[in-house]
A and B are shown apart, each in its own frame.
Chain A
Amino acid sequence: MTAFTRIVLWACASAALPLFAQPAVAMNAWPQDPPKEEVQQPPVEEVEEAEPEEVQEAEEEAAPKKSAPSPYLAVVGGDVYTVTRGVIAGGTVLCKNNRILKVGQNIQVPEGARVIDAVGMRVYPGLVAVNSRGIIRGNGTEARDSFDPFNLMVDLGLASGLTTVQSSLAIGKLTRGTLEGHLLATADWVNLSLSGSSPSSKRKLRAQMDEAREYLRQLRDAELAQKLGEKDVKMPDEKKAPQEHLGLLTGERMARFNASNAKDLLAICEFLEEYPMKSVIFGGLEAWTYASRLGRVGASVVVTPRQKRWADENLNRESGWSIENARILWEHGVEVVILPSQTSISLGGLAGRDLMNLPMEAAFAIRGGLPQDAALRAVTINAAHILGVADRIGSIEPGKDADLIICNGDLFDYRTFVEWAVVNGREVYDKQRATYFAHIRPRPETEPTTPLETLVEVLDDMDETDSKSQDVDVPEVEPQDG
């Protein structure tokens, strides 16, 4: 599919959609293209120019970190998997306070910065787990009061690459050792059910959607009449409109469905065709059988690649599980998020199928044909997107939260360990000092000052050739999945 064809199709699809839901659906329709917020982002250089203000604001907001001698943290020399801007070989991620300041090669590290020597390693954004259980507690804004930043689960979560988890309504970061910056946002899903609910419930849902749509229509007409100079225009009463459903139609909120079998997925597709809105479907075991339709309605699908159900031979259509589920959905433009079957961190039970093995779950999707970069999106930016926090986390970009993991190999390789985790610009996990992991293939000891000193020397040499500016040029990187 050429870019031109996509644009034409996008235009057609947008025109066919009702006025009120255009932004929501258009955003999700083409996951090969960067999501809306990424498209709208200015080029890297411009972002960097805007960055100091943002960082300053962040500094003002953030509580003073007395223990931190320098506000800078630099991850130096690793291959940086930005997710949205490709891979920067031997790159540096420079963080200031809780944000990423610069990303690229040849970045000068300020004196006194905490330096993580990532040479030979891979740097990824922290992984994002939706629907988690047992890592953070509480609900919505209460989560902060219930968060135990020294909990074993936080340690194990970080060791597994997780830096943000959603539990119930709370989206919280694994800010080990501090409460500061824990609560990222509150999930704003509207739970809708079409599977298993009674016909009257379904009728009621449609009636509410129609009511909300009618309100929006009346509002549009009234506003138009006001613009045309009509007097005594009567505005519709917003209080009478069902608020949740209104939010869905205006694209301010996202619908959440649970559906695994094809019949239920079909019902959701029909509903979304009638009422376009941002939506996420959890389960999606047979989603591959309606991949194209799900792609057209712009639904995101949370899948568990290893979840199995045998095909029903009595049906005259495809059914059951497929290891290619994620790949097929992705090919049809569905935003895929990956989740293991057990969404807690398990110290027993189904070992290997819990949140400690999120990358392994994604590796099974890769085995089914999902490109590796799409799998990385599925556990980072896509998960952030369905949580409504993709502007903060899920990729390595200047201005975003400094949530990083540094791995000693490919994230999806079964031998890989997380060596460091950084959350909000703070080093919160170091395998070498982790009670449960330090003894496993310890990394070679290095002189603590050597990397920075060496780097500064190298950079000083490089600066001699371009001494006019200390600002770093972040290389233009083509998105791999574009």
Chain B
Amino acid sequence: MLVELLLSALPVALPQEGDDPVGRATIYHLDSIETLNGDALSNASILVRDGIIERIGASLMVPEHAKVVDLRGTGATAMPPLVVSHASFFPSESRGRGRYGQYRAVDAVHPDEESLQELRELGVLFVGVDPPGSGIPGRTSVLRSDSKNFLDDAVVRDLHLKLSIDMSKTAKELLRKALEDGDKAIEKEKKAFVDWEKARKEWKEKQEAKKKAEAEAAKNGKAEDKPATSAQEGKGGNGDKGKNGDGKEEKAPSETFEAPKMDPSLTPIVEWIRKERVAHIWLDSPGEWLHWKEIIGERELAWEVVLYHTTSTNFHEVVEDIAKSGVRVYAPSRISFLPSTRVRNNLPLVLTQAGVKNLVLMPTSPNNVQAVKDWRVGLSDLVREGLDRNAVLKAISIEPAKAIGQEETVAPLTAGGPATFVITDGDPLNPFSEVVYMVASGEVLYDREKDKEN
């Protein structure tokens, strides 16, 4: 009895297994919380109830029956989960360069459980999956790392239009032609709409005229009016003279506009031109940036740029122009070198200094899950060499979440916000840190201890 009283008086209660009432709370006691909404909190707790962060801060009262996860003293740090904006590492169909706008990633990519498990272990909740191929390979889809079947479980099946370019006439021609064809398709549709409207208007006028004539005929009851009515109908119709005049042979235009059929590979291009879809252009050199700008010219389109490069790059040559464009920029999390030198180049830092606002950091390669495993190594280098630590944390979690439309799930950790976070056993950017828990809407998706047991 005495022991029970003492235990209840303690601010930290032990978890009570088996008691799982609806609306039960869980409290996580942590050494640090990177809320990404102002300063980090030290020695603080997150109280979760019904998938929502009920309270967050230091010295929280533990509610009765709350499940308590006390990780203090282990370096435990919580932050919003990681989001990989672009991934091509899942098994997929093989496809070359071409216009494959009709395909979504879900149609061609087959996520494997092993990779998904690794993503969970690394604290990644969402992953943007790219369609295979280059040129206009198709549309991206979004997957949660606890998914089983991609097609059914995809959070978003049809997101961005992926585009890529290289410095060749063929590559540029592919994009130019797609835009030209898109313009033509839009024009064709516009013309069809105008024709339909005209046909509807004429049809309505004719019908009204007919009714009027019939009403007058009925009113006057004169047989000589009938020929005049027939002549009037013939005038307003499609030249179907000789018909019996009752309009039965004429087909009424449909009440709703039916757009002409479009080449499915062109559909997302047309949506892009209409600003209904965002395109992601993949570039691997500053020269390609110029070629891309030349292709789109003065068009106002919705697009974001993926600066995909290997160990060396001179993208810094065009950062001001990129910043001026105001687009969201995706960059690999690595210190690169100036070409043919060992001069170190922190491109993400240069981008932010140039004024890029919406920076998203990606693992160094989208093609290998190993790059996700090594992500923290690259990130720590970026911070060591000048990039703001808080900006890095945002650029791997809440910023990519916004980019793939998951900002309501992966958001700064605040009271009232979604209880979606990842807990590491140290600084999240320390390459040696490991993920202890990943929680999504209050539900534990990954528990290192349980995982080890399994």
Contacts and interface: CB of A to CB of B under 8 A. Distances in A.
Contacts of B285: 148, 150
B451 to A, nearest CB: 46
A147 B343 contact: no
A138 B171 CA distance: 13
A152 B338 CA distance: 10
Interface string B314-343: 100110000000000000000000111101
A173 to B, nearest CB: 15
A150 B317 contact: yes
A177 interface: yes
A138 B169 CA distance: 8
- Interface footprint category on A: 10 to 19
Contact of B287 (A138, A142, A147): A147
A152 B167 contact: no
Nearest to A138: B169
A453 interface: no
A347 interface: yes
Nearest to A150: B286
Interface string A144-162: 0111111110000000000
B290 interface: yes
Contacts of A145: 167-169, 172-173, 291
A146 B168 CA distance: 5
Interface in A84-114: none
A9 B56 CA distance: 100
Contacts of B290: 149, 178-179
Nearest to B343: A435
Nearest to A141: B169
Given A137-B167, A177-B317, A179-B294, A149 B287 contact: yes
A68 to B, nearest CB: 14
Given A147-B287, A150-B287, A151-B287, A347 B340 contact: yes
A148 B167 contact: yes
A147 B287 CA distance: 8
A146 B287 CA distance: 9
- Interface footprint category on B: 10 to 19
Contacts of B317: 150, 177
A55 B338 CA distance: 38
Most buried by B among A142, A148, A436: A148
A448 to B, nearest CB: 20
B324 to A, nearest CB: 10
A232 B339 CA distance: 70
A152 B340 contact: yes
Q: Is the interface of A mostly helix, strand, loop or mixed?
A: loop
A137 B167 CA distance: 9
A108 to B, nearest CB: 33
Contacts of A178: 290
Contact of B169 (A146, A148, A150, A347): A146
Contacts of A435: 338, 341, 343
Nearest to B173: A145
A63 B341 CA distance: 34
Interface string A121-156: 000000000000000011000100111111110000
A149 B343 CA distance: 20
Interface string A400-443: 00000000000000000000000000000000000110000000
A382 to B, nearest CB: 31
B274 to A, nearest CB: 27
A177 B285 CA distance: 12
B291 A179 contact: yes
A148 B285 CA distance: 8
A354 B401 CA distance: 51
A432 B417 CA distance: 53
A428 B301 CA distance: 31
B314 A150 contact: yes
Given A149-B287, A179-B291, A347-B340, A142 B167 contact: no
Contacts of A151: 287
B256 to A, nearest CB: 44
B317 to A, nearest CB: 5
A150 B316 CA distance: 10
Contacts of B287: 147-151
Contacts of A436: 341
Contacts of B167: 137, 145-148
Contacts of A150: 285-287, 314, 317-318
A145 B291 CA distance: 7
B343 A142 contact: no
Interface of B: 167-169, 172-173, 285-287, 290-291, 294, 314, 317-318, 338-341, 343
Given A149-B290, A435-B341, 14 more contacts: A145-B168, A145-B291, A147-B287, A148-B287, A150-B285, A150-B286, A150-B287, A150-B314, A151-B287, A152-B339, A152-B340, A179-B291, A179-B294, A435-B343
Interface of A: 137-138, 142, 145-152, 177-179, 347, 435-436
21 contacts: A137-B167, A145-B169, A145-B172, A145-B291, A146-B167, A146-B169, A147-B287, A148-B167, A148-B285, A148-B287, A149-B287, A150-B285, A150-B287, A151-B287, A152-B339, A152-B340, A177-B317, A179-B290, A179-B291, A435-B341, A435-B343
| Those 3 A-B pairs whose CB atoms lie nearest each other, nearest first | A148-B287, A145-B169, A142-B169
